[in-house]
Structure 1
Amino acid sequence: MSEGHEPDRTPGGTPGTPPNLRTTEVDLGGLVSVLATHLYSTPLVALRELVQNAHDSHTRRRLEDPDGAAGHTPEIRVRAGARSVAIEDTGAGLTEPEIHAYLATVGTGYTRLLREVTGSEELIGAFGLGFLSAFSVADEVTVTTTSHREPAQGHRYRSRGGEQYSVEPVAPRRTPGTVVELALKAEHAHLADEQALREVLGRYCVLLSVPVYVGDDEKPVNAIPVPWREPVPTTGLYAARMDFAAAFGRRFAPLTAFPLNPADEGADSVGLLWVQDGGTYGSSDNRDLAVYLRGMLLADDARDLLPSWAGFIGGVVESNRLTPTASREDLQRDEHYRALQQELTDAIVNGLYETARLYPSAWRRILARHGQDLLGAALCDDRLFTLLADDVPVPTSQGDLTAGALRAAGNGAVHVALGSGGGFEEMLYRAMQVPIARGDRYAVLPFLRRYAQLRDCRIVELGAESGNRELFRDPETPLPAEEEAWLAAALAEEGEQLVPARFDPPGLPLVLVPDREAELKARIEDDAADARIPSAALRLARAFTARTDGTVKARLYLNTASPAVRDLLAAYRSGHTGSATAAGLLRSLKVIMAAAAGSAGGDLAAALAGVGTAVAALTAPSDALSVGFGTLFASDEPGLDERGEGGR
């Protein structure tokens, strides 16, 4: 500032204060209402916050008076009364100035200040808002407290709504500590139930080091041994983990349990993860992760910390470094959060490896229960794919088989059907006596494609053009155009393309294979697809199907190696009048099989009638045979006229 220059001043202001600057007014009543009523997602959080304050009171007493605290037993007791709940502790207590400075001042927390001074990681509170949660469930809050610094004095704080309060002296408690009494609102009267309190606090407080009792119970709700904290003999460690997982899990029993022990020396997170005994399939998401910050439940549903493919994992994580939101019901997505995500992924992969190596019976149960989910998981992590490639079950036409078993049964090739099977396709697969993987199931096709690359084996994708070429080989001798046209007229429906081929087994004369690209084209060009499918995905799908016009809806592969087909062609070439009857019988068989598969393949009633007519014609006296043929092909079968010639 240069000499002789007078600083800017405003009345009552300070040097450098801009003119007309005013102080922001705070509507304390409105602020209390918002914070107390809308900050927390559930009224149960009030119990958590008040028990948390009681825990910090014990830690504070030990930090401030280590010699005096050594002679008392920390304890928190929660009691239910007539529409009331009381939380009692034997911690540090409060002096009257501390009541005014911390209890009655929103946003000022002594716990946070003490942690900054001492560096203690045991203190939980951070924002000075926890006590305010009491007003979200109570009409009136009363706090009776005696400080360990002034054991001869006691004080009682009383407030309705949190905006105004009174403090009066009372006879001191026999020992330092605090009792917070909540006169519950009518809509929260259900909290005054001891069994409900045991269930809620048993989850909130399971990792607290201070015992928490309900009513006159002699056993605390947090009496479950914590395997990563307590010394357990190596021989009993796995059993201890399973016991904790069974006690903590809410919906499913554990199949195996393994620790979260990050390899990074800078990591602080510890805990336990387990595989849940609950069936999952593809999009099923049963992830169940609870996160505790310094021993108190912070997030009961932190599933986003787990990898998206781990829909079968449950767990408990304890950390001192994660940053809570103001409501302490969620976590900030910072570098500690992202680091924990990677630590959890590594722990799951390592835990599955450990289970496969050390606990084979548990591993078999995991594969049986979560095989479908593990197929997708293997595609998301190279380490998991290496572990699961030869073990994970794949759904096939012959039940669940491993990829290795599929490969062995297919003489070095893995066969996978792109459609849902049924009808002639299913008959063909069974007749081949080769298990066919269900490519329409979750993750099966991409998993087997990657497996084929890993094991350097062939993959035959039935329903795709390349797979069909391998399965349906060209005839030894091409059929004359006139014969192929007659067969097409006799056997194929509109939208079906006749394809002469050779395939096994010879006893199967024909196979109707739907065109999967034509099916997809029909689905995505449906008007309703615009509402069902996101626009970007719809554009990509339509670009993919633009290469087909959709007129060929199925291909009818005719087995020229089949004795039945050879006899049919021989009869046609010789002019045998029975060729038309035989062709009609094959056509009817095709329609019946297509109907059995639930797909459209012609007129079923006409096909059934055609079978009867063919049988009658074949068993009729020779002089009536020509009449039988005429009746058969003058009926509802459109492909042939009464002379057995194409009528299209």
Structure 2
Amino acid sequence: MADVIELNRKGQQHKAGVDLEGLMQILSKHLYSTPMVAVRELVQNAHDSIVRRRLEDLSFNNSQGKIHVVGLPRENKLKIIDTGAGLTEQEIHSFLATVGIGYTRTLREQDDETGLIGMFGLGFLSAFVLADEVAFKTKSYQTIDEAWVYHSKNAEEYSVTKAEWDHVGTEITLSLKEEYAFLAQEEVLNNILGRYCVLLREPIYINAQTVAINEEAPPWRRDEEVALHPTQALRQNLAFASRFEKFFEPICTLPIQPDGKSDAIGLLWIQDGATYGTSDNRNLSIFLRGMLLDDNARDLLPAWAGFIGGVIESNRLVPTASREDLQKDTHYDAIQYALNEAIITGLENIAKKQPEAWRRIMKRHNEALLGAALCDERLFMILKNHLKIPTSQGDLLAKDLVTDKGIHVMLGGNAGFEEMLFRALQVPVAMGDRYAVVPFLRKFTELSKTPLVEIGTDRGNEYLFRLGKVEPEVQAFLTENLANGEEVVPAYFSPEELPMIVVVDREAELKKRIEEDQEDKKISQAALRLARHFTQKIESKNPLKLYINLNNSAIQALIQNRAEIAASERALKLLKGFKTLMAGQEMQKDLNLNEALKNISSVIEFLLIEQK
């Protein structure tokens, strides 16, 4: 009785059923995104068969390994022939005809350093993606007196018959579906195999070609065989990079070496195309044990490196079942970190050893590197004295912006009051509205103990304008006659020849802009809350200040002679007109430029008539 109660608690155990026909349709029709991947899988199986034979057949000569791909366009057939281990009759039933079981996986579980690629036991299904009918002729090195032909139209039902064949290895013949008949064309095969299989170690020949499509080894393997002069190595690396870089000429290359945690080996390069802060031309091809897995693995490269391309090989990365993507595991993270480190180390070495390439990098990627420098302290130290800052006097190094008061940066556009002010001061001012300029200069000045004067902020204005005091009636006079709604601030500043200038409060301007963005659907609520957290600290105040230069002789004369009405009126007209001209484009529309020009002209006309 107790046994019955216990069985009821656990529930009766049942075996799940499998709809083999439905499973085969899903695997054969939806496992791979393109027919090119299916061809790759079949070549991979041929490759693994040769590796297996090399491991197990001690009489096998290394030079005997060969894969031959033959396209027969007139017959709509594709053949893939290898000199590998072949299969016995039992192995055909156990591995070839059983979904999810492969001898390659068995070998890899015993020793994963063999160079074998296959893992899931699904690669043979790719034949049924492409073909209406598949014939698989094979002879095993273990039973050289027997050859067999596997034949199937749908992978669900198959036959195995004896055959006459004097060749150890395998020949798979695909009777291509009509939509995939183009795969039998030699040009198409060259493109597919030249893309996916170019790093495989086993030679691959197409049709009657006598040169293997993968004959040329990548630079990191050539270095194993022969020591090259550094100049030769650089040239060969650039030539290799040019084969993979689709859009740009490589400027220079950065080697990738295993570091213990990452087993990645390969080559990165810096592209010659000019980039901006938002440019992202990253491209990275991943080869898993010599077979192309993904040629758009850009996420393995750091986000700031929008000017980097590369090719790497790995044995540890784990693919998805379709072998078209990577699993994001600890190996993935280790390689991602290793690539970041290799780029930083590589840039440092180029700066020291390849001055011509370094100048080209600085010229092409200056703006992108301004932002990149903020992502890593080491990168900033490498770049800080080489990157140029856009300024009112052209692009200059940060060190060349230093004046006796520090480095000046304008937070508004280059047509604002800041440009007018610094034209008068005859010192360069950095354009803070350009990508990464302000945070780069903040970090630069912090490290160099140099003040950063952010014009239009309270702190920046303290550096530029030393506040002064005037009598209340003078303050009222200046406000009434020179201001157009601005807050009048008497001060002492340079140059003395500049009588006054209207300064926009950039912090108040930012507060206003953020508040207006409340209704803008483009800004997320989270970002808006962060921005408001900052701007709430900014007091509401007049966004315009009119600084009156008490050092200026004309201002001194105006204050002293303000009682002389006629002369004062003409002087005030000139000064207000001057104020408008100095205000820059952003404020001239509010200050009425035409009226200012009219007043200046009328005063000049009066003075000329008075001379007569």
TM-score (structure 1 length as normaliser): 0.86
Cα 1:39–1:554, aligned 2, differ >3 Å: closer, same or farther? farther
> Aligned residue for 1:418?
411
Tell me how far apart the structure 2 counterparts of residues 617 and 190 of structure 1 sit (CA, whole Å).
Answer: 88
Is 1:140–1:160's contact at 8 Å kept on the other side of the alignment? yes
CA distance in 1, matches of 2:88, 2:258: 43
The answer to whether 1:285 aligns with 2:285 is no
For 2:112 and 2:270, how far apart are their aligned partners in 1? 36
| Structure-2 residue corresponding to 1:483 | 474
For 1:460-475, what aligned pairs fall within 5 Å after superposition? 460-475=453-468
Which residue of structure 1 lines up, in the alignment, with residue 246 of structure 2?
A: 250
Counterpart code for 1:513: V
**Selected match of 1:233 from 228, 236, 253:** 228
Conserved? CA contact 1:121–1:320, under 8 Å: no
Local SS of the residue matching 1:309:
coil
CA contact under 8 A between 1:255 and 1:276: conserved in structure 2? yes
Question: Structure 1, residues 365-404: CA drift from partner, whole Å, max 9, x if none?
Answer: 1112112222222222222222222122222222222222
Q: Does structure 2 conserve the Cα–Cα contact (< 8 Å) formed by 1:151 and 1:172?
A: no
Partner of 1:195: 187
Query: In the aligned structure 2, how far is the partner of 1:557 from the partner of 1:204?
Result: 68
**Once the two structures are superposed, what CA deviation does each residue of 1:16-53 show, in whole Å capped at 9, x if it has no partner?**
99764322111222222222333333332112211111
Q: Secondary structure at the match of 1:297?
A: strand
> Matches of residues 14-413 of structure 1 in structure 2 within 5 Å?
20-70=12-62, 72-79=64-71, 81-82=73-74, 83-172=76-165, 174-186=167-179, 188-230=180-222, 231-235=226-230, 236-264=232-260, 267-407=262-402, 410-411=403-404, 413=406
The question of 1:556 aligning with 2:551 is answered no
TM-aligned CA deviation for residue 69 of structure 1: 4.2
Q: Could you list the runs of 5+ residues in structure 2 that have no partner in the other structure?
A: none
Q: What secondary structure sits across from 2:23 in the alignment?
A: helix
Aligned to 1:646: none
Cα deviation, residue 359, structure 1: 0.7
Residue 344 of structure 1 and its aligned partner are, at CA, apart by 1.6
Query: For the residues of structure 2 that align with 1:215 and 1:432, how far apart are their CA atoms?
Result: 75
SS at match of 1:218: coil
Distance in 2, Cα, partners of 1:622 & 1:540: 63
Matched, 1:430 2:420: no
Task: List per-residue Cα deviations over 1:167-207 (Å, max 9, x = no partner).
Answer: 34443264532234250352x45544433432332221121
Structure-1 separation of matches of 2:162 and 2:147 = 6
Q: Secondary structure at the match of 2:60?
A: helix
Q: 1:584 aligns with which of 561, 573, 591?
A: 573
CA distance in structure 1 between the partners assigned to 2:608 and 2:70 by the alignment: 92
- In 2, distance between residues paired with 1:67 and 1:357? 51
Match of 1:630 in 2: none
- The 3-state SS of whatever aligns with 2:209 is coil
Provide the residue aligned with 2:592 in structure 1. 603
CA distance in structure 1 between the partners assigned to 2:593 and 2:424 by the alignment: 24
Deviation digits for residues 100-148 of structure 1 (CA, Å, limit 9, x no counterpart): 2222221111111122235443100000112223333444433333333
| Counterpart residue number, 1:626 | none
Secondary structure of residue in 2 paired with 1:292: strand
Which amino acid in the other structure matches residue 569 of structure 2? A
Amino acid at match of 2:84: G
Instruction: Please report how far the alpha carbon of residue 592 of structure 1 lies from its aligned counterpart in structure 2 after TM superposition.
Output: 4.7
Which one-letter code corresponds to 1:322 in the other structure? Answer: L
* Residues 295-344 of structure 1: per-residue CA shift (max 9 Å, x gap): 11122222222222222222122111122222222222222222222222
Instruction: Quote the Cα distance in structure 1 between the aligned partners of 2:186 and 2:480.
Output: 81
Paired residues of 1:146 and 1:176 also in contact (CA < 8 A)? yes
C-alpha contact (below 8 Å) 1:290/1:315 kept by paired residues? yes
AA partner of residue 104 (structure 1): A
Task: For 2:477 and 2:178, locate their aligned partners in 1 and report how far apart those are by CA, in whole Å.
Answer: 86
Instruction: Give me the identity figure in percent.
Output: 47
Q: Is contact 2:66–2:204 with CA below 8 Å preserved after alignment?
A: no
Q: Secondary structure at the match of 2:293?
A: strand
Q: What is the CA–CA distance in structure 1 between the aligned matches of 2:36 and 2:519, rounded to whole Å?
A: 44
The letter for the 2-side match of 1:543 is: H
Residue equivalent to 1:539: 529
Q: Is the partner of 1:314 in helix, strand or coil?
A: strand
Q: Does 1:510 align with 2:500?
A: yes
**Given the superposition, is the C-alpha separation of residues 219 and 599 from structure 1 closer, same or farther in structure 2, using an over 3 Å criterion?**
farther
Q: CA deviation at 1:620?
A: 5.2
Mapped contact 1:395–1:437 kept (Cα < 8 A): yes
Q: What whole-Å deviation, never above 9, does each CA across 1:511-568 have from its counterpart, x for those lacking one? A: 2222212222222222565412221221121122224454522222222323343344
Partner Cα separation in structure 1 for residue 555 and residue 301 of structure 2: 58
Aligned equivalents of 1:111 and 1:71: distance in 2?
22
Conserved 8 A contact 1:522-1:550:
no
**Distance in structure 2 (CA, Å) of the matches to 1:295 and 1:16:** 54
Which is worse superposed, 311-320 or 163-172? 163-172
Measured in 1, the distance between the counterparts of 2:159 and 2:480 equals 98
Letter in 2 for 1:274: W
Aligned AA for 1:536? A
Do the aligned partners of residues 332 and 362 (structure 1) sit closer, same or farther apart at CA in structure 2, a change above 3 Å counting? same
Distance 1:547 1:481, change over 3 A: farther
Q: Secondary structure at the match of 2:466?
A: coil
Question: Deviation of residue 614 (structure 1)?
Answer: 4.2
> In 2, Cα distance between the equivalents of 1:178 and 1:551?
83
TM-align CA RMSD: 3.0
State the distance in 2 between where 1:375 and 1:134 align. 50
Deviates more, 1:201-210 or 1:121-130: 201-210
Tell me the TM-score normalized by structure 2. Answer: 0.90
Helix, strand or coil at the partner of 1:179: strand
Q: Which residue of 2 aligns with 1:636?
A: none
Superposition deviation, residue 222 in structure 1: 1.9
The gaps in structure 1 that reach 5 residues or longer are: 624-648
